[in-house]
Structure 1
Amino acid sequence: MEPSGSTTNNHALNSTGGVCPWEVSDTARLRRFLCFGSEGDVYTAREEGRVGLEHAGALLSLLQDGRGPEVVDEIRRFAQEGRAVRLGSCWFALALCSQHSELKTRQAAFKALKEVCRDPAHLFSFIQYKKELKEGMKCGIWGRALRKAVSDWYNEQDAMSLAAAVTKCKQREGWSHQDLLRLSHTKPARDAIALISKYITKGWKEAQVAYADKEKSEEVVRVLSYLEMVEKVRHSCDETEVVHLIEEHKLEREQLLTDHLQSRQVWRALLKEMALHSVLKILGKMTSNKILEPGNSETQILCDRLQSESALKKAKIHPLSILLASENYKRGQGYQGKTKWEPDGCILKAMDSAFYRSFVNVEPVGKRFLVAVDVSTSLSSVVPGSAISTAVAAAAITLIFARTETNTHVLAFSEGAVVPCSLSAHMTLAEATTELVKIPSGSTDCTLPITWATENGKCVDVFIILTNNPLWTLAASPVESLRKHRETSGANSKLVMCGLTSIGHAIADTEDRGLLSICGFDLGALSVIRNLAQDLI
């Protein structure tokens, strides 16, 4: 398995001994699996099913070939460097490697545990995948190697970070910290970890008594004080006290009781330090509960944060995340339940500003892109699983590339030909959307942008075709069109066919590694395109 960035990256030998750079090798399939949970060439937005052995043929093949340590290196890279759109694939793959018959593979997997599973939820998922893989077998999962790896996971954490983590995420996937500490026979490496361990297994009162008369290090004193505050807030019915504890110790909603979350004052206190990602998810709820009201201080503070470039950079929020949240908020009601709200104009204005300001968070790939929008059908339908119209989605995706990649061509096509389109990086989202919907519709041929680039001498690294048509009419094979462009331009061109309303339509039955289908659209789709452009999948 070649390191990323290698000139032979993902190349596979053909039967004649030559190099076929576009053949889908086991390495390429593994990387697709680690990225989005499938070895195939179709990424389906918002599909969060659990993965299993039936999805991991290439992974099993590589392990069978004795390449386990290399597989673990790939898992580590995808988890650590943000390449994985769905981390569950990485946890599953690591669990499989940790149970492989080859010793060096198991050792590499356990050594990578704390790097791949960075918080308790990840660790619980990893353990559950190990349990599922072992079901039907007579042996257990808690051997010496796993016990040591789990013990190390706890012992090598920063004590204050661990105290916060175990009080925010107590259990998941049917596992708790108490289960893991008991089954791993963890022996705490230092006093602060021993205190947290006792708190988890015996409860606060016993932990408090055990350390009452002991000589305590500065680290133990800090952890003891923090756990005391967490326990105090959990046993408090005094709204004023709860608010004070939240503000003083920056406690989060996962550390509170359900009853506390009935209080508007508690929510106001939580909002002050709540991560912007979390705030965007509950805007409707906060407006419905009158915590965010026109002109009040909470609304003003939120609007200021949304319009602060430094706050957006710190939160690393992507423009598409803001747009999806904004369109959902504008909708005025949730997808489930009966929650309804009247969208606040100041918040909508702030989110519109945040959309453009957050472009600083998009790191350029540095490739030559051609984004082509199929306007042959109406762009008035909605992207599945969102409140965003396909016209707005297409305009937003186009703007993201046009504004962040210096070498981007924008095309529209309809009626069997490329049509004039003056969409540019300087437009607002509303202007870009208007430009797309005013073009007359006609028949769809998604190979037209490739043909246009080839005939006009444009050298393109990545073609991105955005279409609203669930059934694609192709005058020529997209594979052949792409190969012709590669031969003519000398570029290692790739093609991403994105069906904005599709729920599972592929380009063609192809074994060309440079082709990928996206069904629907979400933030993960942009990560998939980025990975493909950089030869990471």
Structure 2
Amino acid sequence: FALSRPNHTLNSTGGGCPWDVSEKARLCRFLCYGSEGDVYTAREEGQVSMESAGALLSLLQEGRGAEVVEEIKRFTQDGRAVGLGPSFFALALCSQHSELKTRQAAFKALKEVCRDPAHLFAVIQNKKELKEGMKCGIWGRALRKAVSDWYNEQDAMSLAAAVTKCKQREGWSHQDLLRLSHTKPANEAITLISKYVTKGWKEVHAVYADKENSEEVVKVLSYLEVVEKVKHSCDETEVINLIEEHKLEREQLLTDHLKSKQVWRALLKEMPLHSLLRCLGKMTSNKILEQGSADTQAVCDRIQNEATLKKAKIHPYSILLFSENYKRGQGYQGKTKWEPDSSILKALDSAFYKSFMNVEPVGKRIVVAVDVSTSLSSIVPGSSVSTAVAAAAITMIFARTEVDTHVLAYSEGALVPCSVTADMTLTQATVELVKIPGGSTDCTLPITWATENGKAVDMFIILTNNPLWAFTASPVESLRKHRQKTGANSKMVMCGLTSTGHAIADTEDRGLLSICGFDLGALSVIHNLAQDLI
């Protein structure tokens, strides 16, 4: 995507036409966050249904199915979607459309969209649910071939790990899929995995034990043998050795194994960073991570290691959520409690700043306008983050990663000086924002300010924890005036940090979106809108 040039306009003088919400834009919103409307509600993983997929259905009716499949691929592969559920639903729908070209495109895309077994099971379940009302089954020749190809085109060792880590989901297992698709394995190693899944280890062992096997088959065989050994082992030392030697993961162990601190310590060494951050509270509570211990030191080193952070592509806002939750000393279900370790908190703080390198800049001219009332007690729903800290973090993310960012604050119906700068720490930025007294929220002030000062802005990001949003003028009208005066393709995102489903107004302007609450998905939505993807 080309970065916008200062004089680049999208026919902004010709009235509202280019800003109408097209069917394609509605489809992209649906793929991004499961709804075609102009409101994204954080943490809402709702059931996707036909009712929310109107644009998808009408594009299919217009014979634009191949285009739809391209969009599905784009949203799943670039990590642009908040969740993958809507894409799996859309792919399943395309795969049983009446037009042959659409069906072919969907089946061809199956292996690109479904990167692991859980994805594959989800698409198959969606197909089953979509067929419920129809009399025919889903296992036609095209699906059988697509599923067979999915298994046959995997690297054998990756497939062996995948089938032992994710055995079943959504009521489907690998056994079901291999049987129903009549998969003919493409090579000896896939034959072995297929036999293991359908017949079990005993039979595999009987067939392959005395055979002359190729190098790849020997590797897969010994890996599966290790997985089986762990499943039947009650010997803590043996389990630990197998984990360390073969990089086994938590999903391949028994629940009983996870009662052992030593087993957890062995898992820790290779545990993916996301999983590690998710388990910090549990491991502190279970005394696996004790103050001043070598394990705690090793975990702290990993959390703030730049190469590890880069490889995990972890976002600073994600680290903030883990950090605030860890600080809280209690899990969401309320059972697990822990005393937060100060060295872990320090490491998380350091990781927060280092992970800014993982933020992909959108290269636009941005204004972040903050209205945070003095009440620090309000929390962003579904998280442990106060609205002031969330606003400071969001401000910093844009100030540190976008070259052209202005930070404004507004209060009591007027813009007030705000001295948040890119080089501040999160604590300093939060303190700056909290100094500002809260008042009634006039969300159009930042747009008016930019228009009057002749500052062309591509993206207004307006943050408030005021549940009532007031406007002296219509946001759509203010935005249109700004576009006309500056020639910019200006867009606006209204983030109600404590809101639970409030929209700006029912607007048909593609450049306006409302966000209720805030999570990592909200940042994807802002990025997608800035880059004209939704």
Q: TM-score range by the shorter chain?
A: over 0.9
Partner of 1:149: 146
Change (3 A) 1:136 1:56: same
Listed as ranges, the gaps of 5+ residues in structure 1 are none
* Aligned equivalent of 1:168, options 165, 168, 177: 165
CA distance in 2, matches of 1:111, 1:440: 57
Taking the TM superposition and a 5 Å limit, the aligned residue runs for 1:170-319 are 170-319=167-316
Moved more, 204-213 or 470-479: 204-213
The 8 Å contact of residues 498 and 517 in structure 2, kept in 1 or not, is answered as yes
Among 383, 387, 394, which residue is 1:386 paired with? 383
Deviation, structure 1 residue 12 = 12
Residues 368, 407 of structure 1: 8 Å contact kept: yes
Q: Is residue 424 of structure 2 the alignment partner of residue 424 of structure 1? A: no
Whether 1:73 and 2:70 are equivalent positions in the alignment is: yes
- For 1:372, the equivalent position in structure 2 comes to 369
Q: Which residue of 1 aligns with 2:503?
A: 506
Name the amino acid aligned to 2:488: A
Of the two structures, which has the highest relative contact order with CA contacts closer than 8 Å and spacing of 6 or more? 2
The alignment status of 1:397 with 2:394, answered yes or no, reads yes
Kindly indicate whether residue 96 of structure 2 is the aligned counterpart of residue 99 of structure 1. yes
Q: State the distance in 1 between where 2:10 and 2:232 align.
A: 61
Is 1:41 aligned to 2:46, yes or no? no
Q: How big is each residue's C-alpha offset from its partner over 1:299-327, in whole Å with a ceiling of 9 and x where there is no partner? A: 00011112211121111111111110000
Task: Provide, for residues 482-505 of structure 1, a one-character-per-residue CA deviation record: whole Å limited to 9, x for no partner.
Answer: 001101111000000000001111
Q: Secondary structure at the match of 1:480?
A: helix
2:473 aligned residue (458, 472, 476): 476
CA contact (8 A) 2:399 2:422 kept: yes
Query: 342, 349, 352: which one pairs with 2:339?
Result: 342
Q: Distance in 2 between matches of 1:141 and 1:81?
A: 29
- Hey, what's the Cα distance between the residues in 2 that align with 1:379 and 1:508? 28
| Structure 1 residue identity aligned to 2:419 | S
Q: Is the 8 A contact 2:88 2:122 kept in 1?
A: yes
Distance in 1, matches of 2:198 and 2:439, equals 67
Alpha-carbon separation, structure 2, partners of 1:218 and 1:5: 48
What is the distance in 1 between the residues matched to 2:453 and 2:16? 29
Q: Provide the C-alpha distance between the structure 2 equivalents of 1:379 and 1:364, rounded to a whole number of angstroms.
A: 30
Partners of 1:295 and 1:505 in 2: how far apart? 47
Deviation at 1:215, TM superposition (A): 2.1
**Hey, what's the Cα distance between the residues in 1 that align with 2:264 and 2:249?**
10
Distance, in Å, in 1 between the alignment partners of 2:10 and 2:409 is 36
Identity of aligned residues (%): 82
Alignment equivalent of 1:113, drawn from 110, 115, 122: 110
1:19 deviates by 8.9
d(CA) in 2 for partners of 1:12, 1:425: 31
Provide the rounded CA distance (Å) in 1 between the counterparts of 2:212 and 2:59. Answer: 53
The DSSP-based 3-state class of the residue aligned with 1:257 is: coil
Assess, with a 3 A threshold, how the Cα gap between structure 1 residues 381 and 88 changes in structure 2: closer, same or farther. Answer: same
1:324: which partner in 2? 321
Give TM-score, length-normalised by structure 2. 0.97
Deviation at 1:371, TM superposition (A): 0.2
For 1:319-338, what per-residue CA distance to the aligned partner results, in whole angstroms no more than 9, with x for missing partners?
A: 11111000000001111042
Pairwise CA distance, 1:439: 1.1
Name the CA distance, whole Å, in 2 between partners of 1:266 and 1:33.
Answer: 42
Distance (Å, rounded) in 1 between the aligned partners of 2:143 and 2:374: 55
1:435-446 correspondence runs (5 A): 435-446=432-443
> Displacement of 1:440 after TM fit?
1.6
Corresponding residue pairs, total:
528
Task: Tell me which residue corresponds to 1:127.
Answer: 124
CA distance in 1, matches of 2:137, 2:335: 46
Answer yes or no: is 1:52 the counterpart of 2:49. Answer: yes
- Counting only pairs closer than 5 Å after superposition, residues 1-20 of structure 1 correspond to structure 2 as 20=17
| Partner deviation per Cα, 1:175-211 (whole Å, 9 max, x = no partner) | 0000000111111010000000000000001011111
1:453 aligns to what? Answer: 450
2:61 matched residue in structure 1: 64
Q: 1:218 to 1:18 in 2, by over 3 A?
A: farther
Matched position secondary structure for 2:128: helix
The answer on whether the counterparts of 1:377 and 1:442 sit within 8 Å (CA) in structure 2 is: no
Letter in 1 for 2:111: K
Query: Structure 1 counterpart of 2:93, which letter?
Result: L
Aligned equivalents of 2:513, 2:527: Cα separation in 1: 12
Per-residue CA deviation, residues 325-383 of structure 1 (Å, 9 max, x unaligned), is 00000001111042100000000011111110111111211111100001356343000
2:430 to 430, 433, 440: 433
Partners of 1:299 and 1:264 in 2: CA distance: 13
Q: Give, in angstroms, the shift of residue 214 of structure 1.
A: 2.4
Give TM-score scaled by structure 1 length.
0.96
Task: Identify the residue that residue 486 of structure 1 maps to in structure 2.
Answer: 483
- Cα pair 1:75 1:94 within 8 Å, conserved: yes
Whether contact under 8 Å (2:372, 2:387) holds in the other structure is: no
Q: Which amino acid aligns with 2:452?
A: E
| Contact map agreement 2:30 2:53 (CA 8 A) in 1 | yes
* Contact 1:411 1:418 (C-alpha < 8 Å) held by counterparts: yes
Quick check: 2:93–2:127 contact (8 Å CA) kept in 1?
yes
Q: Which of 213-222 and 339-348 deviates more?
A: 213-222
Matched AA of 2:519: D
Q: Is it true that 1:515 corresponds to 2:520 in the alignment?
A: no
Shift of 1:441: 2.1
Matches of 1:212 and 1:487 in 2, distance apart?
A: 76
How far apart, CA to CA, are the structure 2 residues paired with 1:529 and 1:128? 31
> Is the 2:455–2:486 contact (alpha carbons within 8 Å) kept by the matching residues of 1?
yes
Query: Which letter maps to 2:380?
Result: V
Provide the secondary structure at the position in 2 that maps to 1:131: helix
Distance 1:307 1:144 in 2: 50
1:283 CA drift (Å): 0.6
**1:228-276 CA distances to partner (integer Å, 9 max, x unpaired)?**
0000011100000000000000000000000000000000000110011
SS in 2 for 1:194: helix
SS of the counterpart of 2:469? coil
| Contact 1:380–1:391 (8 Å) recurs in 2 | no
Instruction: Answer yes or no: is 1:413 the counterpart of 2:410.
Output: yes
Letter in 1 for 2:218: V
